[in-house]
Structure 1
Amino acid sequence: MQKQIFCKLLYILMMTLWTVSMVDIIIKNEKPGSILHGTEDQLLFLECILDGVNTGETIIWIRNGEIVSEGRHGYALYSFIPTKKDHLSEFSCEMHDTLKGNIKEKVITLDIKYKPMIDFNLTEESFFIKGETKTLCCSSDSNPSSATMWLKNLKVAEVVHYKTNVCLTLMNISDSDSGKYSCLAENEVGFSEQEINLNVLYPPVFVEEHKIIQFGKLGEHMKIKVIAHTISSIECCHIEGENRRQKPPDIEIIHKNTTPLVPDTDITTKELEITFSFTVLQTSDFQKYKITVCNHDGNSSCIVELKPMKTEFETPHALDFDVNLLSLLTIILLVAVMVFVFLTRKRNTRHNASRVTEGITEFADGFPIPLNHAPEKDMRNVKRGGETSYSHVWC
């Protein structure tokens, strides 16, 4: 009898072990390759199911050696909101027997989709020297791959590339390269944007507002003024004349205003008025001067000539030419008028002489008198019967 009972118990045990060995673990939504897909910031469910006889044993979810969820009756559930860091992490579902240890397990790998993460090879505020060549690189970490592009001041500076690293090369950097540069990356999950401000540093720039030739009066106070633009602070400023004047004039630098170099950024340029004051102008002060201004990034120079003012307002060369031309035309016109008057008077004189000659000829025809007596005679007109006769009265 005892032998029969023992045999039945042994049979039950053997059947149980055989049944357990036939149990299969199923993970819901598992893809080929033991992959489970998810998306960052969206709730993800990990469901482990025993496909077979329900033995009532414990089923657990394990991550990095730690139990994160526990279930019974052939079912275990673990839910959480994944992030980029959970991508490619592993979870293990185990059917656990407290007496015999682990009986069966299955491991899955998470494939988490996440929007691009952007990184630059430069700091957010970068300074370049004028004339340099620099490369801006934007790297994008995303799953799946993202389309990446460069923008400068909201305009496309580099076409779209489906790769993790997109670089923009700036050659022979100039003032126009200053601005706000943005890197945009986008995939099916979302998009990311990151900006850097690029400042191009250059020496001071003289503007055309100042006059190359300036005028002053001998013995009076005089100021030479020039205008310059700069990004960084002025570090030196001096003036040098052709004759190497021993006592330099007083120098004053006035900050006129600040202008944004690039809209919607902190990049600005300063407008400076630089004044060189002469207390009393001397003859030796009238010459050409080389004005040099420098900052941290270099120096610039301009030439200004100081001339004596002969009149209240110095007549520009162009105006002198116009006045001389007008004077010449006036003289030519006057000469032409004088010649015309002279010729007219000469012609009138000849005409009058011709008329006198004709009158004398007519008189001689009516009264033939010797020419040598004509000056001694007085001619009078006498009217006789309606006719005009000539009588001669001797003095």
Structure 2
Amino acid sequence: MATQFAHQTIDRFSVPILSRDDTYILNHCTKYLARTNPEYRHNFGQFSGADPRGRIAEAYRFPIIDSYYDEKKPVESYAFNEVTFVYFDPTASIKAVAVLGTFAKLYEQIPLRPARFDDESTGYYAVTCLIPKGQAHSYKFLVDGQLKLDPINPQQVTIDNGAIWSRFFTHLCTEALVLERAEMLLIDRLVEHILPFRTPDGERFLRFFYNYLDKQTKETQYAHAYRLDQSVGVVNFIDKLLAREEAHNLDDYKICLSQIDRILRQRNPYTEPHLASKELFVELYDEMASGAVKDWDHSEYGNPRFFLQMLRRHTFTGAFSHPKYGGNTGGISWSYLAERFSSDKGESLFNWRRTLEKPLGTNPDYRG
């Protein structure tokens, strides 16, 4: 049986449905979708000139993934996200629109309702579902009996039978979405030479932080933990970033990681690239920083330094951002800062738990 929450309004589906007012829906739609200027926005070449999503400010923000809080069940509600599906029909002529996908029973057609402003039709249709964190799902809209991809969301996935579906993922998702395992292992080694946790003090802190947690803390705070090692979830963060907000940089990663794999195999043909020695990675790292990497194919990717700068930006962002984005597992990077910086009285100068929601933090008002 699905978990019951106070805001659930429809119980005939296998997934809880929430009642969201039109203001919430329209606030998001008017910010990102309502636009009379027909010109295409700069999207780093992600969309072709014929793709209407090129006119949208930030198409990746749909469906809307939001935090959920039920004051009667605060601990249970932390494990869920509000996911709001939005469909837009400028002619407001469709008779019925529903969403179906792997987040519910696949045969269930969950209806979207019209969002109205001043009791007039806006052309927007929406429904909000409660979906567990840590998951990725495929879905389609059923518009007047016809299955359609989400015309807004740029995320798409090809399933086993070759069909293309739209995709979304919730907070704390650890399923690899766009990177291959070999690519993730290679990024993990590169990340080790960027983060501070490779030092003896950093490694000692990691061991202490995870090994001394009680069972309940591990179950509540680390239910979606991903590879509790020096990368502190950064590789997972990068995978999610390239799947959504920075999908336009995925090709950079694919090309450069392929080149790095080839170069490392040339320099040591007797071991897998991700198992190469620390000295070999340090040498490669220094060469990339200088922009002059021996055997780098500049006709395929002009500047290895640019890729290294992007990787460093993604690494530090992932390590110190909110854990819901896939990195900074359990707030470990914040705990590292809290231990490292303290006052003369021994009090931490970075009391991050005081500002964060339960169970990760202690703030009763913050909602994540």
**Structure whose residues are more often strand by fraction:** 1
Same structural fold, with TM-score higher than 0.5 when normalized by the shorter chain? no
Structure index of larger Rg:
1
The normalised TM-score by structure 1 is 0.22
**Structure whose residues are more often helix by fraction:** 2
Higher relative contact order (CA 8 A, sep 6+): 2
The normalised TM-score by structure 2 is 0.24
